[in-house]
Chains A and B, each alone.
Chain A
């Protein structure tokens, strides 16, 4: 088991290196001079030259990569062109609301997705199953921004139950009542991902319920609840947990939309603003930070596996 975990950690190194090369080359893929593109059409040639020198664009490409990569390893992602502050500082300032949304949505996804999936599988082909499957298919086919705008129209504008936009920092004020600002964004973000988990839990439960050991458990005279929860559910959990990693990537994409719809000052909104401002160092920084976060989530999943699946522990 120890060797398996070490191997998982070691395999992160080349992945991280490749991800860095990819993120770095993104900036150099653009046609023309990066400094000129960043400054826009109105810049004078002197301005462009000055930026080239400060950003190091006049150096050979491998020197630029070396400088950038060693900087990244030290936690220095460069300077934001728009804010004139370090990229990491810009990201950190916007992280609070994004983290809140991500964690709360993830909780919502697990709390709704897994039980509904299990119920759908246990009552296979019943009306409950058909309703749940239909609803999850519908949720997966809905654009996140459209769902968000509809929820905003119904619950904020028409009913007036919840605030429609904005978010006062909870860490600063300590006022937990402000969490109500996050109810609609979290529901919006969780819905399509919940749908995915419902479908996968259902599929994996259906597979497990066909297994011989489930029939054996029933034959022993165990109650249906014990068979479902102890024998079937625990085994189907292994494949469901793998999907949590995927869901994380889905969440990162979803926050971009959700934060735009509800005007939340988070990292997702920052990405869109940076794209419109052509603030490349910030875009690079965010993508790399999220890729690393994804790798860490996958590592955590590997750890979970070793506890859930004895077959891995032995090898």
Chain B
């Protein structure tokens, strides 16, 4: 059993998708338990796989027993084992939290929703687990297409357009990636990542390889919404139904960051990416711009969900910059932040889900008096906010620690300033929300007998997942040392200082 973990992670949700779509016709009530069961199996397998990788080292898995480079090989090291756990755990928690909200938002389309949901998860875990560059593209398309559909189910007026916009941009991004893989295939004759890495060193001077790398990177950047290629993201994530946005927002961009790091570390190797190309400095500057612009755009928003989407744009800058600093601390920070940012984005979007469920809106005006109305939801929101700001002991502090350390060691003080700037802007952003929820509406008296709003908290099935994530933000922060020493350390090549 345990040797089939890599396959189980992908195949179980894939099959479940078909079963759910059939079950949806028979009885809508069946969909939810099947989806939960499938994602739970996937989650269990990911966790099992992580432990196996930690004990035994890299796991190679041949799908159907075909040998690479012809067959599809799954390649699992500490990096994607970690990302797999994050993806599946986040998907599972969100699935449980989503039940009530989709029953409220579109009761007639429960079947399709769960089908798309597990298919999206299939795509995400597939991208992460695979060791085949072309297979990655296929799964990327699965994830993207289901993602477009999940987003289009939202706001009737604006979601379809936002989704279409995303579809155009996303398709261009995926095509770029495919084109890059094509060049690579021409140059090396292989699609297996490890195989490509073995063949490439002789071809470092080749223009085709250079082209492949740049095209792949641009494709991945579009998919991860790296500024200024982020145009599709804010509207798509804002107008999506809350259950979809809390699935896609934490995972899509982070998995694409993983792909970028995988391309740098495994496929093209750090020697090519940092030494031969020598463009890392400019990319870090681009990341600085992404961080600053993301923060500024976020400041301009007047609703919570859209503000969070711009924060994602800024956070993407954190990870791209960290990865391209080209040193140990920076790369550690970027990988750590994949996990941390996924968790804190999930936490924030689950909060939005709860608010929408109760208040039917996420504009700033809807948030008035929310601390009295939904104290538990807002409590979790404060924890997420602290993590975004980077207050210890939440995990956001520790990834920021590594990222800033990396910036200092690389002598890239611009990146350090950008990170500090974004932390400060996050203070303003989140405390503005907290102020609205805490003070408004103002009472006439001098505060002494504040009218107590009746409590109207979200149901327990939404609160429990939310609090698991919120506790995770603190626990992951406290155990950062262990995560770095036992998992991330092995991912980073020895050539990094």
Are A and B subunits of one complex? no
**What residues of chain A have their CB less than 8 Å away from a CB belonging to chain B?**
none
